[in-house]
């Protein structure tokens, strides 16, 4: 799993670039899981032999988010060219709901029910309940690994900022996703954590 770190040259913290990298890593993980569900067998699994279709590498595309452009997003493809992700339409470069959903997943913590609901909203009726459950497991595992990763013992500087995102509870409303970023003693900056607050405040 990639570490969301950056070594700044100008000493300024670019929240948007770091969030984009986090979103990119998460989307690429889900895309791989989605292709597995589409093909109905895991990578290197014997069930894929003579199945009539197989994995065929990746192609790169740019994806515009509200935090800037995700460059070289790796989208998997199949040999028959039948696979089309449900996360975004072909050639579409802009989709607010996707990035907001990813941030909600990190910021809400490890509620499996919440993540399952968000995954179901993302994939709609395209996949079976079992497939949606498998994709939920991928999302939960990714977030657990990120939440439980080892951190540096010391950070020279901590930054806290908030992003306003739409969250559905009893109704849809704007809430603040707080982002905590640390700069370690080597000058590398890293997203340490997210959490949801009702409004941005001191």
Q: pLDDT tens digit string along 46-83?
A: 766 777 888 999 999 998 888 888 999 999 999 999 99
Chain-wide mean pLDDT for the chain?
83
CB 90 within 8 A of CB 100: no
Higher model confidence: residue 28 or residue 177? 28
* 97 plus 35 within the same structural domain: yes
Higher model confidence: residue 14 or residue 39? 39
Of the three residues 147, 163, 184, the one that is the final residue of a domain is: 147
* 88 plus 111 within the same structural domain: yes
**Token pair belonging to 70:** 């995700």
Strand order of the β-sheet with 5-6 is 5-6, 189-197, 172-184, 155-168
Main-chain dihedrals φ then ψ at residue 73, nearest 5 degrees: -65, 125
Main-chain dihedrals φ then ψ at residue 120, nearest 5 degrees: -65, -40
Is the model's pLDDT at 45 over the cut of 80?
A: no
Q: What is the tens place of the pLDDT at every residue in 147-182?
A: 899 999 899 999 988 888 776 666 667 778 888 999
Is 90 within a domain? yes
Strand partners, 60: 74
Of the three residues 107, 128, 147, the one that is the final residue of a domain is: 147
* 18 plus 59 within the same structural domain: yes
* 84 plus 141 within the same structural domain: yes
Is 2 within a domain? no
* 187 plus 123 within the same structural domain: no
pLDDT of residue 95: 60
* 49 plus 121 within the same structural domain: yes
Is 1 within a domain? no
Is the model's pLDDT at 200 over the cut of 70?
A: no
* 141 plus 160 within the same structural domain: no
Which conformational region is residue 196 in: left (phi greater than 0), alpha (psi within -120 to 50 degrees), or beta? beta
Range of the domain at 169: 155-197
Helix (H) or strand (E) holding 199: none
* 170 plus 186 within the same structural domain: yes
Confidence at 140, pLDDT banded by 50, 70, 90:
very high
* 78 plus 53 within the same structural domain: yes
* 137 plus 169 within the same structural domain: no
* 115 plus 183 within the same structural domain: no
Is 59 within a domain? yes
Work out how many domains the chain is built from and give that number. 2
pTM of the entire structure? Answer: 0.81
Eight-state DSSP code of residue 84: -
* 113 plus 181 within the same structural domain: no
CA–CA separation, 94 vs 18, rounded Å? 18
């Amino acid at each position: 799993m990639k570490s969301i770190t950056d070594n700044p040259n100008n000493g300024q913290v670019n929240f948007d670039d770091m969030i984009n990298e986090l979103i990119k890593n998460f989307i690429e993980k889900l895309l791989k899981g989605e292709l597995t569900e589409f093909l109905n067998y895991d990578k290197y699994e014997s069930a894929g032999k003579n199945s009539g279709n197989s994995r065929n590498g990746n192609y790169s595309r740019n994806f515009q988010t509200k935090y800037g452009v995700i460059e070289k997003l790796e989208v998997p493809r199949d040999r028959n060219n039948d696979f089309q992700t449900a996360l975004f339409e072909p050639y579409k470069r802009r989709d607010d709901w996707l990035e907001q959903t990813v941030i909600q997943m990190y910021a809400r913590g490890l509620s499996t029910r919440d993540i399952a609901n968000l995954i179901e909203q993302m994939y709609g009726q395209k996949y079976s309940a079992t497939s949606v459950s498998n994709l939920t497991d991928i999302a939960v595992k990714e977030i657990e690994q990120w939440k439980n990763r080892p951190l540096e013992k010391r950070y020279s500087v901590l930054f806290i900022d908030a992003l306003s995102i739409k969250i559905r509870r009893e109704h849809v409303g704007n809430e603040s996703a707080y982002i905590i970023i640390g700069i370690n003693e080597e000058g590398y900056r890293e997203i340490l954590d997210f959490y949801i607050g009702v409004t941005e405040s001191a």
